[in-house]
Amino acid sequence: MSYLAENYKRRNLSFKKGKGSYLFSTDGKKYLDFLSGIAVNTLGHSNPKLINALNSQAKKVWHVSNSFKIPEGEVLAKKLAKKTFADKVIFVNSGAEANEAAIKIARRYFYSIGAPNKNRILCIKNSFHGRTLANIFASGSKKMTEGFGPKVSGFDHFKFSDIKSLKKKITKNTAAIFFETAMGESGIKVHTKKFLKEVRKICNKKKILLILDEVQCGIGRSGKFFAYEYAKVKPDIVPIAKGIGGGFPIGAVLMTKKVSKCMVPGTHGSTYGGNPLAMVIGNVIMDEVFKKGFLVNVRKNSIYFLSKLQSIRNNYPHVIKEIRGIGLLIGIKLKVDLGNFINKLTENKLLTIKASENVVRILPPLNVKRKEIDLALKIINKVCSEY
Ligand SMILES: *Cc1c(COP(=O)(O)O)cnc(C)c1O
């Protein structure tokens, strides 16, 4: 019997080590890890540069309070700002925290300019932003909020990629429009460039802030550092987490100078947020993702992977309904039972994870090798052939 609570339906599988795109189970088997701890292990497992950064920082200083300057965090914030729309950064520890901070910043911004009633956040129905109270009610998902009332108010919802529905839900009290640039958990649903451009225009016209949750699709996962870059739109606030830590818990909120001015001393904080251990890791991830050719390679591998998956779909239309994705955030929408399909992949030593809408989510490390993609394709093809 386990003393862990039963809030996860855990697979009967555990691992003793990982290397690159592979995980080695405690019972001695080798698995191709194409879920990367859910878009976390950006550089795979046991990356020597990450190990070195963590070990050398561990010998210096682990943690100091945010009441002091943290030079490693100054460096990471500068790197993030120089490479993105952002002017300012707040560090936290997870995606949910980053989203909570983003919501606080949007509200506080309008408060600070004398419009405290402009405080409602407009989100996508059945989205995912993490498991804190505010974020579950932001999601508008019955499943995630059931039994967790009273409801956290202040959130409105529109239909995915539906401009009409969005426009209808905007009121004079709408402070921010808040959604994932490319939706992961909700079934790998990618907004078109046209939609993103249109939303930006509406935000400009109605003086609404645009918050793009890039917790899952950011940090190179989409093939660009941020998925919004494809549409050439500028958000006002971007929460990140997952990939920026490469396996170490980090979250952050990126924002423009205009918005950041409202976050005066005392408005937000986090004990661990931005501690030296986390910051040295984030710095390595940034340096690697921005190495010449890294993101180009993600895009090349994406085109290859998606086109081969499309061929498999064409051969097994009774198994696969649709291939979805952007970069190395890939979904296979099934016609067959999702749990069963994922189990079969696992039996064949390929690890994946489910998403909503009967979708298998595939998230290899961003430095995955072509031959590893080929191996995954072979396994997916084999499993499809068994239906
Ligand atoms: C994972 C995820 C979160 C929550 O991140 P945690 O680190 O689990 O709190 C929020 N938003 C999106 C889009 C995510 O994928």
Separation between Cα atoms, residue 116 and residue 67, nearest integer Å: 29
Residue 239: pLDDT above 90?
yes
Residue 241 Cβ contacting ligand 1 at under 6 Å: yes
pLDDT confidence band for 287 (50 / 70 / 90): very high
- At residue 101, the pLDDT reads 98
Residue 278's contacts (CB-CB under 8 Å, 6 or more residues apart) are 91, 93, 245, 248, 249, 250, 272
Closest C-alpha to ligand 1, atom 11: 129
Residue 182 Cβ contacting ligand 1 at under 6 Å: no
- 329: amino acid identity, one letter: L
Residue 72 Cβ contacting ligand 1 at under 6 Å: no
- At residue 1, the pLDDT reads 87
CB of 192 closer than 8 Å to CB of 227: no
Q: In what order do the strands lie in the sheet with 350-351?
A: 15-19, 22-25, 30-33, 350-351
Helices (H), 133-231: 133-139, 142-145, 163-169, 193-206
**Residues, the chain:** 387
CA of 107 to the centre of ligand 1 (A): 21
Closest C-alpha to ligand 1, atom 10: 129
- 224 φ/ψ angles, rounded to the nearest 5 degrees: -115, 165
Pocket test for ligand 1, best of 215, 219, 253 (most atoms within 8 A of CB): 215
Separation between Cα atoms, residue 62 and residue 55, nearest integer Å: 10
SS3 at position 302? helix
Options 1.10.10.10, 3.30.420.40, 3.40.50.920, 3.40.640.10; CATH for 49-289 is 3.40.640.10
- 333: amino acid identity, one letter: K
- At residue 60, the pLDDT reads 98
- At residue 346, the pLDDT reads 98
Residue 93 Cβ contacting ligand 1 at under 6 Å: no
- At residue 164, the pLDDT reads 97
CA of 215 to the centre of ligand 1 (A): 6
Closest CA to 214 of 246, 187, 253, 176: 253
Residue 130: pLDDT above 90?
yes
Residue 53: pLDDT above 90?
yes
The chain-wide mean pLDDT, for the chain, equals 98
The arithmetic mean of pLDDT across residues 227-239, rounded, is: 98
Residue 129 Cβ contacting ligand 1 at under 6 Å: yes
Q: Do domains 15-47+293-385 and 49-289 have the same CATH topology?
A: no
The arithmetic mean of pLDDT across residues 100-124, rounded, is: 98
Residue 193: pLDDT above 90?
yes
The arithmetic mean of pLDDT across residues 338-346, rounded, is: 98
What's the whole-model pTM score? Answer: 0.98
Ligand 1 atom closest to Cα of residue 132 = 9
The position carrying tokens 């690890």 is 351
Separation between Cα atoms, residue 159 and residue 56, nearest integer Å: 48
- At residue 220, the pLDDT reads 98
Beta bridge partners of 255: 88, 237
For the chain, domain boundaries? 15-47+293-385, 49-289
Cα 268 versus chain centre, distance: 22
CATH number 3.90.79.10 given to 15-47+293-385: no
CB of 274 closer than 8 Å to CB of 91: yes
Query: Roughly how many angstroms between the first and final C-alpha of the chain, as a whole number?
Result: 35
Closest CA to 60 of 76, 71, 68: 71
CB of 202 closer than 8 Å to CB of 208: yes
CA of 185 to the centre of ligand 1 (A): 9
pLDDT confidence band for 328 (50 / 70 / 90): very high
Ligand 1 atom closest to Cα of residue 95 = 5
Separation between Cα atoms, residue 276 and residue 60, nearest integer Å: 9
Residue 127 Cβ contacting ligand 1 at under 6 Å: no
The arithmetic mean of pLDDT across residues 167-193, rounded, is: 98
Helices (H), 218-293: 257-260, 276-289
| C-alpha distances in Å from residue 319, one per residue of 38, 227, 253, 328, 347 | 24, 29, 40, 22, 18
Structure tokens belonging to residue 42: 């950006």
